[in-house]
Amino acid sequence: MAGNGSARKIYRVGMLGFGTVGSGAAKIVLESTPPLPDKTGIDIRLHKIAVRDAKKPRAVALDKKLLTTDFESVVHDPEVDVVVEVIGGIEPARALILAALKNGKAVVTANKALLAMHGKELFEAALASGSSIGFEAAVCGGVPVIGAVRDGMVANRIESIHGILNGTTNYILTRMIEGRAPYAQALYEAQSKGYAEADPSTDVRGVDAAHKLLLLSNLAFHSMFDFGELHVDGIEGIAIEDVTYAAELGYTMKLLAIAKRRNPGADPDEVPGGIEMRVHPALIPFAHPLANVRDVNNAVLIRGDATGEVMLYGRGAGMMPTGSAIVADIMDAARGSAKQTFTKLQFFQNPRADLPVIPFGKIRSRYYVRFSVMDRPGVMGKLATVLGQFGVSIASVIQKEPHASGDVPIVMLTHNTIEDRFREAVAEIDKLEFVRKPGAFYRVED
């Protein structure tokens, strides 16, 4: 870091990639009002930006001399103080970050997939080099949830995290709930507005939310979990009728990312205590704090033993919100606080002996289930009998008028039960000769 003869420090930034997020960060550095040096006493300078096509039009006006197509030159440039990685994906991002860390440079990244899959390797490389990795932008864009969990709630034993962590799926579900749009139509609207990619699979299958949940869980529970330990379901199969019936029962549907401690239970089928980690569509009551998180917004509800429930809410993606988080991490690195925090934050080296991830089949939940059956006497009693045989207790029932096809929808809410038992019960019911279609079910988070 070089001085310029004044009291202000000059801190030079090298960027890997200059798409939407990189452009947002650059715009803030160049156009912030009041200027960043006036607010912070540190003069952040864009020094070198690696792009695949140097001739491509840019969303931010900048000196073309800053651009290079040589990505390696950024991480090896001795004048670069911090490397900002916003190219996404696994490679070459992983190799470039490792090279930057080896050269003693601070790193800032928004790459949740890379950190979820290779976080331990990267964090240990940063610790060995005496550097740091800032990743506030990797979860919820401009919502400072990483800092809140890492620093603001450090005095707490985190009990649970419930998050709406993907704006694309939240927009789709909002359109299904409020506009009664079928899934395919809601996805098309999201794509036409730029909220969903041409290939939306990472979002709609829940993978993006799962990457983010893993990072939050690592921090919240002071351990390093493996991505393969999470259960992940997406929203592709949600039928508009289930959204409608859920509303009649007083619930809305969200793609929830959930991590929570569970104490050992008395049931002989239950496992010892540990952590539940899962991403899936779930019903939540209208009065739930997350129920009114609409459109592309994200929110995280965290319960600590000292604070109780704390909720953070805002836009989870986009040029300026995510760019804001990138610049905040750059400032932490420039002040020296990022290195101090990272040196003390060694969750990736902690033992996991007392925090096993509970197998998904052993989670406990309430369930919404819809059966499509023939219109004949005794059906309801038979359904209740089979559920009871597997220890599943019914809390409430709605029987709808027959469809034109003659099928009768029967919608139930259950009391708490174990996932494996519930699935076994539904599988047994699906074999009954009066059942017209396999049962559709979703978990309920009260």
The β-bridge partners of 48 are: 14
Residues 6+ apart with CB under 8 A from 96: 16, 71, 72, 74, 75, 83, 85, 87
Which of 9, 27, 212, 362 is catalytic? The answer is 212
CA 23 from centre of chain: 23
- Whole-number Å distance between alpha carbons of 195 and 171: 8
**Residue 260 near residue 273 (C-beta atoms within 8 A):** no
Query: Nearest Cα to 213, choosing from 226, 196, 197, 204?
Result: 226
Structural tokens at position 328: 């905040």
- Whole-number Å distance between alpha carbons of 184 and 202: 16
Cis peptide before 144 (omega within 30 of 0): no
Specify the residue for token string 């909720």: 311
User: Rounded to the nearest 10 degrees, how much is the dihedral formed by the CA atoms of 163, 165, 170, 173?
Assistant: -60
- Tell me how far CA of residue 258 lies from CA of 208, 268, 411, in angstroms: 14, 24, 25
- Whole-number Å distance between alpha carbons of 279 and 215: 13
Query: Nearest Cα to 114, choosing from 134, 96, 128, 93?
Result: 93
Give the number of other CB atoms < 10 A from CB of residue 201: 11
- Known catalytic residue at 212: yes
- Whole-number Å distance between alpha carbons of 16 and 7: 29
Q: What share of the chain is helix, strand, coil (3-state, %, to 5)?
A: 40, 25, 35
- Whole-number Å distance between alpha carbons of 57 and 423: 53
Catalytic residues: 212
